[in-house]
Amino acid sequence: MFTFFWVKAQDTNSTPNSSTKVWTLEECLAYAVDNNITVKTAELTKETSGVTYSASKFNKLPNLTGSASQSMTNGQSIDPITSDYVNEQIHATSIGVSTSVTLFQGNQLNNTVKQNKLLVNQNSFYVEQAKNNIVLSVTEAYLQALYAKEGILVAEKNLEASEKEAETAKARLEAGSIAMQDYTDALSQSATNRYNVIDAKNSYATYILTLKQLLELTPFDDFDIVTPDTEDYAAPILPNKVSVYKTALGILPEYQAAKLGVEVSEKDLDIAKGDYLPTLSLTGSVGSGYTSTQSLGFKDQMDVNLNQRVGLSLSVPIFNRGQTKAAIQKAKLAIEQSEIQEKTVQKEIFQKIETAYQNALSSQEQLVAAQVASNAAEESYKLAQKKYDLGALSTTDLVVSQNTFTNAQQNYIQAKYLNILYTQLLNFYQGDQIKL
């Protein structure tokens, strides 16, 4: 699921200048949620669904349309106002207002409103899901940066030790107490450790760039991260994974959105069935007009020619080439697909929790073993250094001891912060905030 490490980093040579803003994880998370493009896109989609929802409610209201026309006719024609046959030039003006409202349409209007309301709620969950995803992505990048920062410290300490050992080896070579191979082994180890320092700094810069991109900062923004103190870390008691799973199903937005997806599909079925039912509409209009064929003035004709109309329109579906039947079948299939998607999301959530739980459990066991190995390797390396200073140990054996200690340190750090990471993930799935 996630493959990143949470480690405690110390001060390195890459200390930020005084103008650099140093960000905590909490600050990064809050800023990313407010500014990340993916989150903003999800929010815009939600707003669009809200507009669609409002428009569907207005579809239940009557419309109102005004009209006005002016015409001139020559020759034999029908007067557009009086409907008389005349053979002269006619100047006619007509104005009117018309309205219509759907009284019944197979309950499709109501079902469309309900469906669009569900889509607004579903998109609200998608917004929360996008926020959760960016929280996890920022956390991953932040912790990877911390791990790289710790790697710089380890690499620099190893370089410092190997440089001193190379100086000692040079002095012994000049004194004739060691062979050239011992000296070159010391130089090789020093060069390797110098390369490791450069590589660690490059890794740190890469993770910082990734983090800045998630926060929508430019590559030129001064940026550094706060180093948390986890020196006295003790592995906590893990929560019951079944309890975590049940809680997660009640709060994780992706599962809530999947459940609403079933309801949305069910409304599609109700809307499709509405095409089998008749449609009843109420219409009405008010109008008047003026024609040059009458002797009355414009105002008088507007009074005389005033007319009103009210009517009912009924449309009964009889045969539409099987389109309604096909729409109903598609809607039923969509419901089944939505139900499958709900189960799929449910399984994915359980898999994530199971993975986090197993990783947290195994890292606890690794932490105990790694701590013992690290302590033993440290004592062994200290003893090797003393023997080397007394000339009782070859450079090759000292290098082996140093590398063993370095690997033991890295294993311990990894086990400790992996445990922190997956414990935090389990807390996150229970609705707790990720924080250091």
pLDDT confidence of residue 118: 97
- The string of pLDDT tens digits covering residues 293-337 is 888 899 989 999 999 999 999 999 999 999 999 999 999 999 999
* For range 215-232, the mean pLDDT: 85
Output the CA torsion sign for 184, 190, 194, 200: positive
- The strand ranges marked E within 294-359 are 307-315
Domains, the chain, in order of start with CATH, read 21-428 (1.20.1600.10)
User: How many other β-carbons are positioned within 10 Å of the β-carbon of residue 188?
Assistant: 14
DSSP letter string, 248-299: HHHH-HHHHHHHHHHHHHHHHHHHHHGGGS-EEEEEEEEEEEEETTSSS-HH
User: Looking at the predicted structure, is the pLDDT value of residue 377 above 90?
Assistant: yes
Question: Which of residues 98 and 227 earns the better pLDDT score?
Answer: 98
Q: Can you tell me the distance from the alpha carbon of 308 to that of 292, in angstroms, rounded to the nearest whole number?
A: 22
- The string of pLDDT tens digits covering residues 38-76 is 999 999 999 999 999 999 999 999 999 999 999 999 888
User: Looking at the predicted structure, is the pLDDT value of residue 7 above 60?
Assistant: no
Q: Can you tell me the distance from the alpha carbon of 10 to that of 387, in angstroms, rounded to the nearest whole number?
A: 30
- The string of pLDDT tens digits covering residues 76-130 is 888 888 888 888 888 999 999 999 999 999 999 999 999 999 999 999 999 999 9
- The string of pLDDT tens digits covering residues 397-410 is 888 998 899 888 88
Q: Can you tell me the distance from the alpha carbon of 234 to that of 229, in angstroms, rounded to the nearest whole number?
A: 12
User: Looking at the predicted structure, is the pLDDT value of residue 28 above 70?
Assistant: yes
Average pLDDT score over the chain? 89
